[in-house]
Amino acid sequence: MNAKLSMLKELIITAFVDDITLLVASPSIKQNNEALALLYELLTEFAAENGTEFGPHKTKVMHMLQRGDPITDMPKVKRFPSEAVKSMEILGVILDYRLNWLEHVKNVLSKVRLKMFLLRRISATTWGASISELRTRYITAVRPVVAYACPVWFVFKTPGGPACKWTLNQSVVDLLETQQNNCLRQITGAFPRTSGDVLCKELHIERMSVFLHRCVRAYRALNMSTPEGMTLCKLWLRDYWPIRVTKEILQAHPYCVAYHEADRLLRVEARSQLDLEIQTWTVPPDSVRGTAKRVARFKEIIKSLAKDLAEERMEESWIEASNRHRCLIGTLAYDAPTWRGSYGKHNLEAYDGLPKAQGTILLGIRTGINGLNKPLFDMHLKDSFMCPCGEHAHTAEHLFMHCKLLEGPRAHLRKAVGDRLHFETLVEEHPKLAANFAIPYFGLDQFKWTAKHMPNPQFPQITARP
């Protein structure tokens, strides 16, 4: 018995209530199976002595490999399943045999799609909950589904960060980003061609990778103060000669790099801030109340710093995306107002208090991707890009500023604005006015019902276009 276990290079046993996981490593699959059979026998004997038993048919075995096809060999235990599995779920996290987390991400995305499908019952592009309300619902009920256990599986190299092996593949991260973009399009009623960068900017929502970075950094910075976190960090400070792994090699381990990054970016600064604050406290920091306050305040500072880093990253990302897009002269909506603005909470404030229809049309105006002839022509959905007036391309700016068919409504619009009428000023500083003007006078089929039934006190003397 001892001889079989002594051949193992690694043996880890973890348990959570009735969920027990064994991890073994040896020179061969055969030795792994023999060790697992022996360990299972010992566990069943222990369980029998304590009046309980294991269900062998519920047991799953998975052989982890860096490359190659999955191995289906099983330990020789009566009533065990016939084959080893390619993936298994442990406490809500799906591990696959290559540990690339693709199966887990696919499972998470299926849950996200289900939640977004249910949101269709309370909102569409022109009715239901407003964009601001749906954004809150997404942040509080949908996005946490993705973030579940992310410190375990989201280990992704930071742009410009240190070298790191075995991190999450970019293609897996792209799946997460694409799904969030689809969610934001549903929330806003945006066209499928609307850029994910634009949607994140308009709704003041972090890209999924930035959000997950924020979550895992804060968790790791705080976890370093716990017994399990300190134990984990000590693992990278010694050599493992049985498996020929030195501490120098472990410095490139993804968890090691991630924890060092969290310490450098968050913990060091948080300690400095906390030390300065403690000097102003009236409560002794070493007292019971002081200790509790210090722990709580340290946690608040860590989360605040992580959020600040995420905000900085989104600002940098938006500058990169907008500069790249505006260089592509002639592409779809390359000169839309949103591309000339900056990232920040002020973009979201434009949608505050707007019903869903007004929010949807405002987003279309700001992004330049809407149901007017010019955007539809650029998307190969219209034969002509001309305005019905015959003098210019059919765009939001033309309708607001120049179209001769809207001279009467424009006079009321200029009066309502109260100063010189300018397109960008209108959509940035008077978003509600712009939306209420566009719904009845742009003549979009999508908003015909809204134009007919929407009270519009800002333009009381003018009827909607036929």
Q: Please state whether the predicted TM-score (pTM) of the whole model is above 0.85.
A: yes
What does the pLDDT read at residue 87? 92
What does the pLDDT read at residue 49? 85
- Bridge-based pairing of strands 93-96 and 87-90 is antiparallel
CB atoms within 10 A of CB 228: 8
- Any idea which residue has 């920091």 for tokens? 285
What does the pLDDT read at residue 2? 65
Query: How many whole angstroms from its chain centre is CA 101?
Result: 16
What does the pLDDT read at residue 116? 96
What does the pLDDT read at residue 421? 87
What does the pLDDT read at residue 465? 44
Strands (E), 280-353: none
Query: CA separation (Å) from 42 to 1, 22, 26, 45, 47?
Result: 10, 12, 19, 5, 9
Beta bridge partners of 88: 95
What does the pLDDT read at residue 243? 59
Amino acid at 120: R
What does the pLDDT read at residue 1? 55
Domain ranges of the chain: 2-96, 102-338, 371-453
Q: Please tell me the distance from the alpha carbon of residue 363 to that of residue 427, in angstroms, as a whole number.
A: 10
Q: Please tell me the distance from the alpha carbon of residue 194 to that of residue 364, in angstroms, as a whole number.
A: 9
318-367 tens-digit pLDDT? 999 998 887 776 667 678 899 988 999 999 999 999 999 999 999 999 99
Q: Which residues of the chain have pLDDT under 50?
A: 461-466
155-213 tens-digit pLDDT? 987 777 666 777 899 999 999 999 999 999 999 999 999 999 999 999 999 999 999 99
What does the pLDDT read at residue 3? 66
Q: Please tell me the distance from the alpha carbon of residue 188 to that of residue 356, in angstroms, as a whole number.
A: 8
- Bridge-based pairing of strands 87-90 and 19-25 is unpaired
